[in-house]
Chain A
């Protein structure tokens, strides 16, 4: 009896310590959010203000002077798309038609934006929306999950469209954010593509010196950025790739591809070989087997790998610092946000707002990916 009571007491003490720990871990994040919403007087108050009057002025500083009308259309599309994802699907046929209509509407809005503001970014965005529409078109699917995925895809693109509009409207911050998005998505696409192909080959075929090759691939990821960046800097200077999207995309692809190979190999190893054997017996070629059997089976793995690559590219600092110029064409958000420390009279409210907008997507993805975090940080070696 005494034993049980003691262990119950211990349980509650443990819970109390956990609560305190969570509070400590979250305080800096809370402070970022709070500072971004405070008035300048509250920010530099002699006693830090935990309760304060909320103001959005710092966020307004990040936005362009005039907000284009299309912003509201895209916002509505993103918002309704996200809300629709949380609704229970009772009638799959209706859900499918809704998603079809919604994505079609997004394409039309993008094309309209392209027509009114002839802009390279909107051209790319329109092409992307159409590709996403065709790739994960929910027409044939009978699964609620695929319908939801297509809605999420459309909402993400609508948010990207808002950033493009703001950047086009003259907001420096959203220009940098858009660079981060372009470089992040571009490098993730390439890294996951290359990584999945190589992972399949390493998983299914005999490769001469397989262990050594895999070790070599992983070791490239372990290189300190400052070591690689010196010759890359010289190389890019010679090739004119400094401060270009392509240069950073190639570089981020390189260090993400090794990660993608290792992570995807773990996922593909788990798919039973028997499926492929059956398909091969049925007369599929090896390539058809890969496309029609292996790829659909590894969708979850590909999504998890992609999110990790995206976060890594999004957060990357050292390469972006050296290879782009603050205020330049391809500069990403991290070097720009941090460039403020050199100057005197730092506007912490603006920095906090910029930081919060920058961190929010990562925080959301972390929650969505929580089941895969362990795999991600251990290169797929530890699974749960």
Chain B
């Protein structure tokens, strides 16, 4: 019915190339090319606010200045402090919730989805509203509920000592559901007969948890931890709105926030590009570990 020429159609090779090319071209144009450009700029003195002044080559000066600047290390410390505090809190709450949810009860699906809701919402829009919830005057919900505990309102977003805690609370509210979701997947995949066998041997609850539950969920927990670490490391949205660009002062100014100010407040483009590369190297190292583990889990599944 069809002519021989038509029924052969495109060869597999042509299809393969035609199917992969659009993605590759897009990624090269929109990711690789800009990255190369910013690498070029990172060795130059250039201000984006003055596009007519040509970029001046200054060698690795930008990097040298950044790496010896104690202020920059301060931002890295702030970020590290946030990452450690937030990820550990989220992990404990998320895994704990998953342990509780790993049982049969009515409306389990509904309850799980309700808890997962914060994770899907826009961090920046919800983060903005948290400012209102954290308001230091009496209309703030958190201060109203907690003031009997602390004996007076707390300046959640205005006190430099406490602001980071507020950021961690909002981040935990958003992302502990993520930890819960992945932990729950790991927990529900553990075969029941393992626990039954342990029961026959009259193993204690702790023994079952330590020697059955933990070893079997740990690959997934590791993925969740790595992913959150990587994501928390580049956190920008919440500090931008909740503490108004890393305030009060520089109390919650993360590396990403500082980078944004450097690039789009001071228009110190060359230096910002160098800073971006320093951040990039850290993120790539982290994501490398992450993808290796993803592939491992994928292989086992």
Contacts and interface: CB of A to CB of B under 8 A. Distances in A.
B147 to A, nearest CB: 11
Contacts of B125: 315, 333-334, 337-338, 355, 358-359
B37 A29 contact: no
Interface in A222-273: 222-235, 237, 250-251, 253-254, 257-258, 261
Q: Which interface class (under 10, 10 to 19, 20 to 34, 35 or more) fits B?
A: 35 or more
A218 B291 contact: yes
B253 to A, nearest CB: 13
A17 B30 contact: no
Nearest to B278: A227
A346 B139 CA distance: 14
Contacts of B109: 370
Contact of A198 (B7, B20, B177, B244): B20
B192 to A, nearest CB: 15
A14 B30 contact: no
Given A28-B126, A31-B141, A32-B129, A370 B113 contact: yes
B294 A379 contact: yes
A315 B12 CA distance: 38
A337 B111 CA distance: 30
Contact of B279 (A207, A227, A287): A227
Nearest to A43: B139
A338 B177 contact: no
Interface string A367-384: 100100110011101111
A48 B280 contact: no
A6 B70 CA distance: 57
A382 B297 contact: yes
Interface string A36-63: 0000000111111000000000000000
Contact of A359 (B126, B288, B290): B126
B22 A223 contact: no
Interface stretch (B58-66, B81-89, B99-107, B159-167): B99-107
B95 interface: no
B19 interface: yes
B116 interface: yes
Nearest to B293: A381
Given A18-B97, A285-B7, 11 more contacts: A28-B118, A218-B291, A222-B290, A226-B259, A230-B41, A233-B48, A235-B34, A286-B15, A315-B122, A341-B131, A366-B120
The 6 tightest CB contacts between A and B, nearest first, are A285-B9, A231-B34, A224-B234, A315-B122, A201-B19, A197-B19
Interface of B: 2, 7-12, 15-16, 18-20, 22-24, 26-27, 30-31, 33-35, 37-38, 41, 48, 51, 97, 100-101, 103, 105, 109, 111-126, 128-133, 138-141, 144, 173, 177-178, 181-182, 185, 188, 220, 223, 227, 230, 233-234, 236-237, 240-241, 244, 256, 259-260, 263-264, 269, 272-273, 276-277, 279-280, 283-284, 287-288, 290-291, 294-295, 297-298, 301
30 contacts: A14-B100, A18-B97, A25-B117, A25-B118, A28-B130, A28-B173, A32-B129, A215-B291, A219-B284, A222-B287, A222-B290, A226-B279, A230-B38, A232-B34, A233-B48, A235-B34, A250-B26, A251-B30, A254-B26, A257-B27, A258-B27, A334-B125, A338-B240, A341-B244, A355-B129, A362-B120, A366-B117, A373-B181, A379-B294, A384-B188
